[in-house]
Amino acid sequence: MFNEEDDLILGPTSRVRWCYATSKIIDEFLAKAYFKEKRLPIVVVRLFNTIGPRQTGQYGMVVPRFVQQALLGEPLTVYGDGNQRRSFTWVGDVIKAMITLIQNPEAYGGIFNIGHTKDITIYDLAALVKAMTRSPSEIVLVPYEQAYEAGFEDMPRRLPDITKIQRLIEYRPSLDLPEMLERIIAYCWQLLAQPEASVRPALMLSAEQIVGPGVR
């Protein structure tokens, strides 16, 4: 479980995967410097796997990718061995928390985790999506070397400690993962059911057969 004051976990610069984390670290340093020297009212938030309707899998977002694959009857591709654990947070909770923080002067200059206290393995996430969509899709493990690059490094678990934000603004996640998935699946199904949707009719028919009326 990650606390805001814990030491950071980074790999070597030879692994491109860590450039994203490094860029966010620099942003935090700059924001804190402006608060300290210029008294700029900044708030730094660290988001843990935010999900919700209208999210795409374009940048590796696992939930929309799994849901799309399941609805279209495609294999659910799990990278690595699937034992890596992640927590998922409803987008509405994240937005509410951020608005509340920026309206609270006691938060200025601070760093806050925003996330959920429950986590799940990525393989179990795929199985849950498959079950909730009643999809015939198989779950396929894809080695990191095939999905990314040789020597790719991943974090085995990413779970936030939200004690700090709970104390300041009484933040609490409002939805658990199955409730989030139910809303996301319903939204994606509506997209597939639209006549003007940019998917082949065969895929739309497949989605209708897979999902059925119970998820609408």
d(CA 127, CA 70): 10
8 Å CB contact between 8 and 25: yes
Distance of CA 13 to the CA centre of its chain: 25
Say which of 20, 108, 123, 144 is annotated catalytic: 20
Angle, alpha carbons 179-183-188 (nearest 5°): 145
Q: The tokens of 33 are what?
A: 């410097």
d(CA 8, CA 17): 15
Tell how strand 119-121 and strand 85-87 pair up.
antiparallel
d(CA 54, CA 63): 11
User: Known catalytic residue: 20?
Assistant: yes
d(CA 192, CA 212): 12
**Catalytic positions:** 20
